[in-house]
Structures are given as structure tokens and as C-alpha cells.
């Protein structure tokens, strides 16, 4: 293939990319940056997959089998924790207007310049090799595509102006500046860039899967055939297995490493946190991103195997199999597709990574210097936004050329994966300070500096410097014999820890130093006031009630603040922002004195453009005064936590009160009901008492007023008076009895009682009643004695009540009553049947209620007091049994009760 076509297609591709970004930016400014889809967010996260994934995974898989996978499994595991970790970072990032990972860590540790600068330096040194990897991949594959294929091109040997990698660097520099540093934005979002990155992710996925499918199903006869062929070669079959503890050690450490990298890589932080516009997208990315990783890894092993089968002994670089396979089978279209996929993987990474690095560099290295020198010299200089823009452009160019330099210096000594892992290990140093700062309030600035610094030094000594030494930039001596010839300081086997691969070894030692110093120094140092405030903001992640502006003391004029903002974000934007602020807070702009809230607002406005630490410094230069003292900060924070604690307590109390109220209401309702019943009872009792009283009184009066009443009549009247008095006594006795039963003051005399005798005694005690009325009583009892634990007197009372009740309703002379005693294992049953008129069904439920008398109460005289059955029910219930009635009107009634043998 000639130079012309691939060059043209590459340029067209970059143009399309730019058009997407440009449209995205236009639309974002039109609708205010809102309305993006979760798909775009998840796809933009796939900037994780660079040319390392696209070409390097196949290279690694062809040598080590499944060992290419932990780099993608780690992020999958981390994705499960995203709503907790990234979600929290997004919330904080939005509130604090975070622009980069350096900004985030610096802001957490008291908006410290030193921390931000250290993070920036680590990121730059760690990432430059990674950028060089992308340049190398693009230029190598381009060579392969156009030049003499299947032999390794000697790129590094060409003089710089004719070096393809150099051309690639130039082109990418121009494009990255177009994407990310066209103009200075007040906002930290790059809507257009994110859209372009999402598109690139789609392109590389489709391209890789297309090549994978082509290789598997067209060049070979499907997966099974491919694996069979591979298994037939002993040297390839080994790839299907994992052997040895060392391999598993690598597997674990690579998983861990990639888990940290997925949140600590500056470009991942950029797309996941800084560019996030909707927290809900994080949730969908939890599964969309792992899905992407699965898809893009599906064909890695098949391509690797096909490559080894195809190129056995030909010396083709395994990192180029993806492209070399279509080329070897002369499929120009698919070769071009593979190249474009690789190009999109590389450009996506380069664009986001260098923009993120440039932001960090300008905010934490260039800005502090600029602010200190330039602003002091010319305090009333017009605008700095032009200078900021220039710094960013230069930084982008600088990083790309550093990358080129690294690629040229290290030449062909490394695989894509080797370089990538080194960068991963560098950014992993951020993890303790980042995650610790997110969940541990005690992490301090000194601790973060100590951890980051020591971890970085160990990383540089064990991984970075050896990589330079191996490519001849540094003398090899220290890697082979240890620093100063001390064996224990050998970079590859620090303190004698030999036998590990370089990356796990470096990760182990650097993490030990990092975490160790971070925790130790945090524990022994004291936090300053601002560290305390920021720690509280980050860890609790909910806004401090009352706002953070309460921490700031100082005075400034509105015009000063606006002028300051204008210098960094442009006059037009500053004016609009200030107007919006005074409108939303109903702030009266006639007074020129700014309140703490406005000072804080200005700081945030600036933070989006120049980073939190610098923003704090420049605002402080205008707003005289400072943060309140540590003592006061503690007081405010304590007050706030107390307020929160109080409100929790109050909430609990009010819940308790609610339940108590409900209980009280229920009790009150019950009481009202009882009181109503009592009233009814008293009314009825009084009524029942009055009837016999009235009759006694009337007959006494007749006798008193008419002394001449003859003896026979007098006898009759006195008889009535005696009968009514008896009834009255009986009624009062029963009322007292019932009252005692109901309030539980009756003494129960429980004893083993022989029931046959008891029933007989009860029957004979009412025998006179039966004889008087001429009613037959038939008692049927078992021949054997029946024993039951019960109260003998109460038991007899029930039987007597039932018998006298029965006799009352029988017709004189023809009446018949039958009493039966039934005995079973469960208990005893007494039934009293009569042949009276019976009880209508609707009355059967009520006969046991107080003063419920069955019969025609209008004409017939009440036959009883209306309390007998109620007393019976009370006694039986108390003894653990039950009482009931069966009756068919006209055929008599049967009152029965049952007492169980075992009582609780």
C-alpha cells in the first residue's frame, strides 16, 4: 500500500472526529451543557482501552495466555464499587469545581499547592512513557501498513525530521490543542471532546471485533478449529494453562494495579469525574463499562493464537498481529480497519491524557509561579486568560514531545504492555491519598505528601530508572549490582526480595512505603484549620449546614472580586456570573462590600479555570483576612455535628412519641367503651332494682293506709313483699358476685374434686324447685367417679344456675329436664336440656350478656335476674373452659359447658 491512501484516510478520520467535537461544543454552549446520554459517558470511560489494549493485549496473550486479562478484570470489579467511590467523587467534584485529579487531591488536603504539584509531577513522569507508547504504536503500525510488512521497522534509526513517529507527534499535538485548548473555558467540562472520545471508543470496539471475527471465522474455521490447531503445538498449548505461584502473584497484583489505575489515571479521572454531567450516568456505567471490556477482549486470545500459528518462526512482533494478520492474507480493507481502530485507541488516549496533564501542569506548576511573580509585578494587568491558554498549549506540545523523546531513547526495548504497566504503577501511587482522603477524615497534608513522595521514589527506583538504564540512558551498573554496589538495593530485588516480576515487585514495595507513610505521618501530625474543613467536606460529602462561607473572615469589595475574576475567566463571563449570583441570592449590589458568600463564589468560579489551590491564593490576595482560627473551625464543625446529632435524636423521640400516642389513643378508646358499658350496666341494674322496690313499696303503702284490710288479703300482700325482697336480695348478691368475678377479687379454691357427687349434690339442692313446679329431673352420670382440678363451690354454682334456669322455662307438670355429665381425656362436659319453648337463633348469642332475658318481657314477668348466665360464663371462662347453647325454637334448649383437664 502506498503512503497516500492511509495518510488521507487517517486525516479524514481525524477531521470527522474534530467535527463531532466541534458540534458537541456548539450544542453544549447552546443548551448549557446539559442533556447527554449515559451511553456517551460509559463509552468515554473506554478511553481506558488504548493501543495497549488494541495491539498490546494480543502481544501479551501470544506469550502468556490469559495473563492479559487482569488488566480488564480489575476495572470490572472496581465498577461494582463505582456508585460509592466515583459517585462520591463526582458529588464533591461538582461542589468544589474540581478540574483534575491533582486538583482533587490538593483540595482534599487543604487546597495545598505542594500536594497538587507533587501529584502533577508524578503524573507527568509516570504518564510520558505511556504517551510514547501510543506514538510508537501509531508509527509502527503505519509503517507496517505502507512499508515492507512482516519485518520489524527500524523507526528509531531514521533522522528526526523523516521519522514517522515525529510526524505523528506533530499531527497529534495540533489536534489535541484543537480539541482541548482552543479557547479558555470558564467551565471545566469539554463536552465536545467527550463526544469525540465516545465515538473513538465505538470505532476501536467495532474495528477490533471485525478483525477478530475475520481472523477467527474467515482465516480459520471458527474457534474450535483454532484452539485445536493451537493445542496441537506444544509450545502454544501451554498458553491455555496457568502454572506456578509466580503467575498467580502477577495475576493478583495486576488485578489490584488496574483497580487503582481505573480511578487514578488522569484521563480516567477526567472522563469519569470532571466531565461527568449527571451522577445517574455513573450507575449505568457500572455495567455498561464492564460490558465494553468483555466485548473488546473476546477475540484477543483467538487473534493471538492465529498470529502464532501464522507467523511461527518469522520474527513478527506479536504486538502487531492485529494488523499483520489481515496484511499477510492481503485483506487491505481489514488492514485499514485495524489501523484505524489502533489510531482511534491511541488518539483517544493521547487527547484526554495530555489535556488532563496540561490542566494539572498549568494549575499547579505554571499558575503558582505566574501568580506570584507576574501579579506582584503588575497588579493591574488586564487579562491573564491569554497566558493561561498559551501555557496549556505549550504543555500539550511539551508532553507529546517528551513522549516522542522517550520513545526514541528507549527504542525497541519494551513491549507495549511493559510500558503501560509502568505508568499504571506510577498513578497507583495516588490511590492511598485519594481513597484515604475520601473515607478517612484523619488523612493529613503531611501524610499525603509523605505517602505520595515515598511511593513515587520507590516506583522510580524500582521501575522507571531501570527502564532508562536498559535503554542506555543511564548506566546499567546499579540495576545489576545495586546502588553503590550494595546487593540489597538492587532495583529488581529490593532488600533481597528476588523471584518476582518487576511490576508486582515495584507495586509491593511502593505501596508499602506509600500507605505506611501516609497513615503514619497522618497519625502523628496535626491538621491545620483548612485541612480540617476540607477533610470534613470530602469525607462527609454532604454540605456543611450553613455553608462553608462561615469559615471565612475577611473583607473585599465586589468590584475587586469581579475584576479579579475577569482577569482569569474573561470580563464578559465574570460579569454574567456575578449578575447571576446577585440575582439568585437577592444580593444588593449597591453596597460595594462583598459578603463571605460572594468571596467563596468567586473562589469557586476561579477554581474551574485555574484550580482550587491557586484560586484560593488569588482570592486571598484581594480579600484581606483569612480563614478563621483552627479553634473556631473545630467549634463550628462540632456545632454542626451536634446539630445533626440533635436532629437525629429529635427524630427518634418524635417517632417514639408517635407510637406512644397511638397506644394512648387505643387505651383511651378502650376506656371510653368500658365506661359506656359500666354506665349501661348501672342503668340496667338500677332499673332491675327499682321494679321489686316499687312493688314492695306499693304493697307496704296499701297495708299502711288501710289497716282494715282483711287477714287473707294481708297475708297475700305480705307474701308478695317477702318474695320481692328475696328477689331483691338475690339480685344484689348476684351483682356483687359478678362484680367480684369481673375485677378478679374472687378467691379460687382449686382442688381435685369428684364431680359425680358434686353434680348429685347440686341436683338435690334444687330438687325442691322441681318438685314445686312438677318438673321431672333426670341426672345421667358415669358410674365411675370423675375427678377434676376445679373450684367445687363455683362448679356447683354453675350447675345450679343452669338447672334453675332450665326449670324456669319449663311448662309446669309436663316439663322435663335432663342433666348429663360427659367425661373424656380432654375434659368434662355438662349438658342441661329442657323441653321449654327454646331460644330463637338471633337471641342465642345474647343470652350470656348481662340482663338479657329471653321471652316476651312486655307481658310475662321476668323469670330471673338476667345475671345467672353471665355469672356462669365468667366462671367457666375463668376455669379455662367454654359455655354455649344449642336450641331449636319449640324443641327446648341445651346449655352445655366444657372444662379442660389441663389448665394453664
List of residues contacting another protein (CB under 8 A): 66, 69-70, 73, 76-77, 79-81, 83-84, 223-225, 227-228, 231, 237, 240-243, 248, 251-252, 255, 280, 283-284, 286-287, 290-291, 294, 298, 301
| Nearest to 44, CA basis, from 21, 19, 74 | 21
In this structure, is the dihedral angle defined by the CA atoms of residues 855, 856, 857 and 861, taken in order, positive or negative?
negative
- Report the nearest approach of another protein to the CB of residue 280 (Å): 8
Q: Are 189 and 359 spatial neighbours (Cβ–Cβ below 8 Å)?
A: no
Q: Are 873 and 883 spatial neighbours (Cβ–Cβ below 8 Å)?
A: yes
Rounded CA separation 374/387 (Å): 11
- Report the nearest approach of another protein to the CB of residue 286 (Å): 5
Q: Are 531 and 445 spatial neighbours (Cβ–Cβ below 8 Å)?
A: yes
- Report the nearest approach of another protein to the CB of residue 302 (Å): 10
DSSP state of 365: I
- Report the nearest approach of another protein to the CB of residue 238 (Å): 8
Q: Are 211 and 322 spatial neighbours (Cβ–Cβ below 8 Å)?
A: yes
- Report the nearest approach of another protein to the CB of residue 541 (Å): 13
**Composition of the chain by helix, strand, coil, percent to 5:** 70, 5, 20
Of the two residues 22 and 287, which places its CB atom closer to another protein in the complex?
Answer: 287
Write phi, then psi, for 631 (nearest 5 degrees).
-55, -45
- Report the nearest approach of another protein to the CB of residue 820 (Å): 58
Rounded CA separation 414/17 (Å): 30
- Report the nearest approach of another protein to the CB of residue 249 (Å): 9
Of the two residues 245 and 377, which places its CB atom closer to another protein in the complex?
Answer: 245
In a 3-state reduction of DSSP, which class is residue 331? Answer: coil
Give how far Cα 570 sits from Cα of 33, 94, 385, 616, Å.
Answer: 19, 21, 7, 18
Residues in Cβ contact with 200 at an 8 Å cutoff, skipping those fewer than 6 apart: 17, 47, 344, 345, 347, 348
Query: What angle is formed at CA 267 by the lines to CA 261 and CA 271, rounded to 5 degrees?
Result: 110
- Report the nearest approach of another protein to the CB of residue 600 (Å): 27
Q: In what order do the strands lie in the sheet with 893-900?
A: 776-780, 816-823, 827-834, 893-900, 882-887
- Report the nearest approach of another protein to the CB of residue 64 (Å): 13
Residues in Cβ contact with 763 at an 8 Å cutoff, skipping those fewer than 6 apart: 777, 779, 799, 803, 819
Of the two residues 77 and 720, which places its CB atom closer to another protein in the complex?
Answer: 77
Q: What is the DSSP string of 719-774?
A: HHHHHHHHHHHHHHHHHHHHHHHHHT-PPP-EEEEEHHHHHHHHHHHTHHHHHHHT
- Report the nearest approach of another protein to the CB of residue 57 (Å): 14
Write phi, then psi, for 112 (nearest 5 degrees).
-85, 130
HEC sequence for 148-187? CCCCCCCHHHCCHHHCHHHHHHHHHHHHHHHHHCCCCCCC
Of the two residues 657 and 666, which places its CB atom closer to another protein in the complex?
Answer: 657
- Report the nearest approach of another protein to the CB of residue 499 (Å): 18
Q: Are 560 and 622 spatial neighbours (Cβ–Cβ below 8 Å)?
A: yes
- Report the nearest approach of another protein to the CB of residue 365 (Å): 37
Of the two residues 289 and 518, which places its CB atom closer to another protein in the complex?
Answer: 289
- Report the nearest approach of another protein to the CB of residue 663 (Å): 21
Of the two residues 68 and 142, which places its CB atom closer to another protein in the complex?
Answer: 68
Of the two residues 264 and 355, which places its CB atom closer to another protein in the complex?
Answer: 264
Of the two residues 213 and 756, which places its CB atom closer to another protein in the complex?
Answer: 213
In which region does residue 679 sit, left (phi positive, over 0), alpha (psi from -120 to 50) or beta (all else)?
A: alpha
Of the two residues 3 and 240, which places its CB atom closer to another protein in the complex?
Answer: 240
Of the two residues 272 and 775, which places its CB atom closer to another protein in the complex?
Answer: 272
Of the two residues 280 and 625, which places its CB atom closer to another protein in the complex?
Answer: 280
Of the two residues 231 and 634, which places its CB atom closer to another protein in the complex?
Answer: 231
Stated as kind and residue range, the H or E segment containing 369 is helix 367-370
Of the two residues 263 and 885, which places its CB atom closer to another protein in the complex?
Answer: 263
Q: Are 44 and 271 spatial neighbours (Cβ–Cβ below 8 Å)?
A: yes
Amino acid at each position: 500500500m502506498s503512503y497516500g491512501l492511509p495518510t488521507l484516510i487517517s486525516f479524514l478520520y481525524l477531521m470527522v472526529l474534530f467535527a463531532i467535537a466541534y458540534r458537541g461544543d456548539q450544542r453544549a454552549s447552546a443548551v448549557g451543557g446539559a442533556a447527554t446520554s449515559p451511553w456517551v459517558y460509559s463509552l468515554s470511560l473506554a478511553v481506558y482501552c488504548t493501543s495497549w489494549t488494541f495491539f498490546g493485549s494480543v502481544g501479551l496473550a501470544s506469550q502468556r495466555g490469559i495473563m492479559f486479562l487482569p488488566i480488564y478484570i480489575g476495572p470490572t470489579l472496581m465498577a461494582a464499587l463505582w456508585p460509592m467511590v466515583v459517585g462520591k467523587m463526582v458529588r464533591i467534584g461538582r461542589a468544589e469545581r474540581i478540574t483534575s485529579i491533582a486538583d482533587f487531591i490538593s483540595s482534599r488536603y487543604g487546597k495545598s499547592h505542594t500536594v497538587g504539584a507533587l501529584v502533577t509531577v508524578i503524573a507527568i513522569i509516570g504518564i510520558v512513557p505511556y504517551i510514547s507508547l501510543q506514538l510508537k504504536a501509531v508509527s509502527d503500525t503505519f509503517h507496517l501498513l505502507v512499508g515492507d510488512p512482516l519485518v520489524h521497522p527500524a523507526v528509531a534509526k531514521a533522522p528526526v525530521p523523516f521519522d514517522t513517529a515525529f510526524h505523528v507527534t506533530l499531527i497529534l499535538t495540533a489536534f489535541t490543542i484543537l480539541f482541548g485548548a482552543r479557547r479558555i473555558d470558564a467551565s471545566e467540562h469539554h463536552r465536545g471532546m467527550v463526544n469525540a472520545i465516545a465515538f473513538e471508543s465505538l470505532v476501536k470496539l467495532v474495528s477490533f471485533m471485525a478483525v477478530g471475527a475475520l481472523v477467527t471465522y474467515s482465516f480459520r474455521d471458527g474457534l474450535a478449529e483454532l484452539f485445536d490447531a493451537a493445542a496441537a503445538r506444544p509450545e502454544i498449548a501451554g498458553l491455555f494453562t496457568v502454572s506456578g505461584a509466580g503467575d498467580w502473584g502477577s495475576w493478583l497484583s495486576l488485578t489490584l494495579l488496574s483497580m487503582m489505575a481505573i480511578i487514578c489515571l488522569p484521563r480516567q479521572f477526567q472522563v469519569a469525574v470532571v466531565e461527568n454531567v449527571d451522577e445517574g450516568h455513573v450507575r449505568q456505567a457500572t455495567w455498561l463499562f464492564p460490558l465494553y471490556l468483555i466485548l473488546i477482549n473476546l477475540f484477543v486470545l483467538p487473534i493471538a493464537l492465529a498470529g502464532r500459528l501464522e507467523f511461527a518462526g518469522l520474527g513478527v512482533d506479536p504486538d502487531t498481529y492485529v494488523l499483520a494478520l489481515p496484511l499477510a492474507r492481503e485483506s487491505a480493507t481489514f488492514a485499514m480497519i485495524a489501523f484505524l481502530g489502533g489510531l482511534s485507541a491511541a488518539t483517544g488516549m493521547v487527547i484526554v491524557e495530555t489535556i488532563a496533564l496540561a490542566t494539572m501542569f498549568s494549575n499547579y506548576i505554571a499558575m503558582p509561579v505566574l501568580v506570584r511573580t507576574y501579579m506582584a509585578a503588575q497588579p493591574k494587568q488586564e487579562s491573564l486568560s491569554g497566558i493561561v491558554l498559551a501555557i496549556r498549549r505549550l504543555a500539550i506540545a511539551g508532553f507529546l514531545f517528551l513522549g516522542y523523546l522517550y520513545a526514541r531513547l528507549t527504542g525497541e526495548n519494551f513491549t507495549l504492555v511493559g510500558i503501560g504497566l509502568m505508568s499504571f504503577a506510577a498513578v497507583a501511587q495516588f490511590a492511598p491519598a485519594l481513597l484515604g482522603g475520601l473515607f478517612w477524615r484523619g488523612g493529613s497534608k503531611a501524610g499525603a505528601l509523605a505517602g505520595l513522595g515515598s511511593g513515587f521514589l520507590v516506583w522510580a527506583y524500582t521501575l522507571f530508572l531501570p527502564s532508562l538504564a536498559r535503554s542506555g540512558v543511564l548506566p546499567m551498573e546499579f540495576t545489576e549490582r545495586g546502588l553503590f554496589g550494595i546487593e540489597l538495593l538492587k532495583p529488581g530485588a529490593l532488600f533481597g526480595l528476588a523471584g518476582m516480576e518487576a511490576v508486582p515487585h515495584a507495586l509491593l514495595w511502593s505501596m508499602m512505603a506509600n500507605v505506611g507513610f501516609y497513615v503514619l505521618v497522618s497519625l502523628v501530625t496535626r491538621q491545620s484549620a483548612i485541612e480540617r474543613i476540607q477533610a470534613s467536606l470530602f469525607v462527609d460529602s454532604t454540605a456543611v449546614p450553613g455553608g462553608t462561607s462561615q469559615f471565612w473572615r475577611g473583607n473585599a469589595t465586589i468590584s475587586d472580586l469581579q475584576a479579579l475574576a475577569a482577569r482569569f475567566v474573561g470580563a464578559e463571563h465574570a460579569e454574567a456570573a456575578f449578575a447571576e449570583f446577585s440575582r439568585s441570592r437577592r444580593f444588593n449590589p449597591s453596597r460595594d462590600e462583598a459578603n463571605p458568600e460572594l468571596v467563596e463564589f468567586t473562589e469557586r468560579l476561579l477554581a474551574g479555570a485555574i484550580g482550587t489551590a491557586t484560586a484560593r491564593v488569588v482570592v486571598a490576595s484581594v480579600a484581606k483576612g483569612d480563614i478563621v482560627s483552627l479553634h473556631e473551625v473545630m467549634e463550628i464543625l462540632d456545632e454542626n455535628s451536634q446539630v445533626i446529632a440533635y436532629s437525629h435524636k429529635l427524630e427518634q423521640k418524635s417517632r417514639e412519641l408517635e407510637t406512644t400516642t397511638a397506644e394512648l389513643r387505643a387505651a383511651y378508646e378502650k376506656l371510653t367503651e368500658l365506661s359506656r358499658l359500666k354506665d349501661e350496666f348501672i342503668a340496667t341494674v338500677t332499673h332491675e332494682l327499682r321494679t321489686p322496690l316499687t312493688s314492695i313499696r306499693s304493697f307496704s303503702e296499701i297495708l299502711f293506709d288501710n289497716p282494715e284490710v282483711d287477714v287473707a288479703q294481708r297475708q297475700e300482700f305480705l307474701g308478695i313483699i317477702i318474695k320481692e325482697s328475696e328477689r331483691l336480695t338475690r339480685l344484689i348478691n348476684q351483682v356483687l358476685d359478678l362484680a367480684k368475678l369481673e375485677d378478679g377479687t374472687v378467691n379460687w379454691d382449686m382442688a381435685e374434686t369428684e364431680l359425680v357427687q358434686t353434680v348429685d349434690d347440686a341436683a338435690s339442692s334444687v330438687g325442691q324447685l322441681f318438685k314445686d313446679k312438677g318438673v321431672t329431673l333426670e341426672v345421667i352420670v358415669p358410674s365411675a367417679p370423675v375427678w377434676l382440678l376445679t373450684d367445687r363451690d363455683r362448679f356447683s354454682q354453675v350447675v345450679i344456675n343452669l338447672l334453675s334456669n332450665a326449670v324456669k322455662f319449663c311448662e309446669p307438670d309436663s316439663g322435663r329436664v335432663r342433666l348429663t355429665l360427659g367425661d373424656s381425656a380432654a375434659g368434662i362436659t355438662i349438658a342441661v336440656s329442657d323441653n321449654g319453648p327454646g331460644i330463637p337463633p338471633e337471641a342465642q348469642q345474647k343470652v350470656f350478656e348481662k340482663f338479657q332475658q329471653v321471652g316476651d318481657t312486655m307481658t310475662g314477668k321476668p323469670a330471673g335476674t338476667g345475671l345467672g348466665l353471665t355469672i356462669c360464663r365468667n366462671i367457666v371462662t375463668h376455669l379455662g373452659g367454654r359455655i354455649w347453647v344449642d336450641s331449636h325454637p319449640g324443641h327446648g334448649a341445651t346449655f352445655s359447658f366444657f372444662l379442660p383437664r389441663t389448665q394453664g
